[in-house]
Amino acid sequence: MTPNYVVPRLKIGQLQLPVLMLGSLPFLGISYRSFEYDDVYRKRFSKEENIVEIISKAVECGIDVLGIMPDIGNPLFDNLLSAIRKVENTYGLEIGLGVCIPLPIEIDGYVDTFRRWLTYYYSEKRLVDEKRLLEQYLNDPILQWRKGWRRDFANALKYRKPYTEEDLKKISINLQRVEDILKIFDGYKLVFVEPGSETDFLAISKRLDVLNILIDFLKSRFKVPVILGSHHAGITIPTLEKYQLNFDGFMTPINMLGVMMFPSKELALRAIKKATKPIIAIKVLAGGRLEPLKAVRFALKYVKFLMVGVASTKELNILIKALFDALGNT
């Protein structure tokens, strides 16, 4: 790659962000392709210098924002934070972090994962063909990355129930836990916070009061923009667009395969196209299943910002070239 590729920047609110941002899941040993790939990534990024090499190349191309999740207890997470600091010291700059936080929401003490997904399913089957929806839930390749997902979700459908309206009235959020999570990044530059996919649960449950409390807390306590994450864009985006909540944008999957785009690719894309707030596309390559140029061109039909993880400088070079080729033809 020539040194002439410098990723352009655009605004989200008052933020100037590169239109291509770097995801961090490969650095944490997550491939969304196979457990064998996960092992490869864990071995590769147990060496901090391999993370430093990729982030350094990204910085040289104007990509100075990294999406990151607080994977507490994972030694690769500690490697990643250390690598970020080394790159900052080398280049004399601060790398902006877009921190994805799992939301500590509770119903009588905790939220059961499968009852939560059943709540999504029962809400969405009224909107699309149920047979097709069930096939997507059982066969989505990223959901399949969770060990035993297909078997466990099928069993949940047979033997368990979604949360009821009475259950959903009990939803609360532990703001102290939110603060504790974000304190992990003290000393680093937060450019935005992304409440994770539990946002979908609050939207589908019509508990926008809880979401509003969270947004106000993040903005007042941490003074950062809030980008809401969603894997159920077809429902969540239209729901949240109706209300005057003080958030700054969305982050959601956009890819040709419809991977993690619920309740269907068609409804998700329709909602994305109609959205008035900026959107950052994730899972653009569908976990490495798509050719970069076609994937990037597809996503840029709908949004201006992409966040993509790579596992080598070669993959980064290919991705940046694909971005510039796509921008030159869109």
Q: What is the DSSP letter of 121?
A: H
What SS3 state is found at 230?
coil
Q: Tens digit of pLDDT for each residue in 192-201?
A: 999 988 999 9
pLDDT for position 220: 96
pTM (two decimals): 0.96
Q: Where are the domains of the chain?
A: 9-112+171-327
Report, at the CATH architecture level, how domain 9-112+171-327 is classified.
Answer: Alpha-Beta Barrel (3.20)
- Phi, psi (deg, nearest 5) at residue 107: -130, 105
pLDDT for position 4: 74
pLDDT for position 329: 52
| Mean pLDDT estimate for the chain | 95
Here the contacts of 236-241 (C-beta below 8 Å, separation 24 or greater) are 236/199, 236/200, 236/203, 236/204, 236/271, 237/268, 237/271, 237/272, 237/274, 237/275, 238/271, 238/274, 239/203, 239/204, 239/206, 239/208, 240/203, 240/208, 240/211, 241/274, 241/275, 241/276, 241/277
What sign results for the dihedral spanned by CA atoms 172, 178, 180, 181?
A: positive
Q: Give the pLDDT mean for 119-147.
A: 95
Under the banding of pLDDT at 50, 70 and 90, the label for residue 34 is: confident
pLDDT for position 244: 82
Q: Give the pLDDT mean for 107-111.
A: 94
Under the banding of pLDDT at 50, 70 and 90, the label for residue 2 is: very low
Q: Tens digit of pLDDT for each residue in 261-315?
A: 999 999 999 999 999 999 999 999 999 999 999 999 999 999 999 999 999 999 9
Count the helix, strand and coil residues of the chain and give each as a percent rounded to the nearest 5. 50, 15, 35
Does 330 have pLDDT greater than 50? no
